[in-house]
Amino acid sequence: MSAMTPTTPQAPKSSPDVSAAVTGARPRVSLRERLGGESIGLLVVLPVLVVVVFCCYVWWRQTAHLDSIEESALAWPSIRAQLVQHIKLTVVSSAIVVAVAVPLGVLLTRGRARAIAPLVVGFANAGQAAPSVGLIVLLAIWLGFGFWTAVLALTVYGVLPVLRNTITGLQGVDPTLVEAGRGIGMSAGSVLLRVELPLALPVIMAGIRTALVLVVGTAALVTFIGAGGLGDSLVSGINLFRFKVMVSSALLIALLALVVEWAGRVLEVVFRPKGI
């Protein structure tokens, strides 16, 4: 924080804060200042890139010579169904991840539970370090094939970044602010909801974005337990040695991941509290 103050005539009046205070204009904190140039660039470049590449793909798809197997594998209705299924898997899993990991992270920064936080983070670390295909298949053997098993596997996979960032974000809140809140008579819950979580939100949102990207990528693998998604056509492309099918579905998965990454960044901007 600047020690400069408009109350001292000696203070240079070049800082935007001070000059605004003198003119009486309310200084706006620009988006660029709040997020930094890189984030803004990605917010604009990502969607443009996705649209351009997708248009190129559509042009290729409409003009390419395909045999009957490729034709049926890359038929628009089936691709659309796989895409919808893929998004459904991603959204449902991510929602559960947030619903589990954020409260868990909050819990692990309260009182005595602080002591076991490293243990839980270590456990979540192990969950993510396990090979994703292995995790998916093992869960399927245990719980049976299908959508909800896939969702469970993806959830286990995505919990770590959100949990870790929730804990880090909450630990990063200046303890004097927490004490200030308690000191002026806010209850512990009120300090959590109105001070700690809003201040930790940027870090938590970054964790959620990481989880979203992880989940959308890993969801390509749940085709092995019959849960659908864009992995279906990828695997059939591999099985049938149809190079065009393989590349097409890989490309579509990559584009979807980029869109999800972009959506995560948009959410970060939207949820970022004003003033920080």
Partner 1 sequence: MSTPTTPPANGDVSGAEITLDSVVKRYPGQRTNAVDSLSLTIPAGEIVMFIGPSGCGKTTSLKMINRLIEPTSGSISIGGEDVRAKSQDELRRHVGYVIQGGSLFPHMSVARNIAIVPKLLGWDKKRIAARVDELLDLVGLDPDRYRHRYPRELSGGQQQRVGVARGLAADPPVILMDEPFGAVDPITRQRLQDELLGIQRELHKTIVMVTHDIDEAIKLGDRVLILQEGARVAQYDTPDAILAAPANEFVDDFVGSGSALKQLTLTRVSELELTRRTTAKVGERSADAIARAEQAGDSSVVVLDDRNRPVAWRFLRQLRRHDVVQPGDREALVVLDSRATLNDALDTMLTSSHGGAIVCGARDEYVGIVDFDSVTDHMRAIEREAVAHQEAAAVDGGGIPGASA
Q: Which residues are at the interface with partner 1 (CB under 8 A)?
A: 1-10, 17-18, 20-22, 24, 26-27, 29, 174, 176-177, 179-187, 190, 194-195, 198-199, 273-276
The two three-digit tokens of residue 109, written as one number: 């920064």
- DSSP assignments along 141-187, one per residue: HHH-SSHHHHHHHHHHHHHHHHHHHHHHHHHTS-HHHHHHHHHTT--
Q: What is the amino acid identity at position 190?
A: S
Q: Which two tokens stand for residue 24?
A: 């009486």
Q: Quick one: which of 130, 49, 94, 51 has its CA closest to 219?
A: 94
Q: Nearest distance from residue 18's CB to partner 1, in Å?
A: 7
Nearer to partner 1, 173 or 245 (CB): 173
Shortest Cβ distance from residue 250 to partner 1 (Å)?
42
Compute CA 71 distance to the chain's CA centroid, rounded to the nearest angstrom. Answer: 34
Q: Which of 69, 105, 9, 120 is nearest to 245 (CA)?
A: 69
Q: How far is the CB of 22 from partner 1 (least distance, A)?
A: 6
Q: How far is the CB of 186 from partner 1 (least distance, A)?
A: 7
The b/e string for 150-183 (b: 16+ C-beta within 10 A; e otherwise) is bbbbbbbbbbbbbbbbbbbbbbebeeeebeebee
Min. distance of Cβ 153 from partner 1 in angstroms? 36
DSSP at 273: P
Give 80 or 110: the residue with its C-beta nearer to partner 1. Answer: 110
Cα of 231 vs its chain's centroid, Å: 20
CB of 29 to partner 1, least distance (A): 7
Supply the DSSP symbol for 64: S
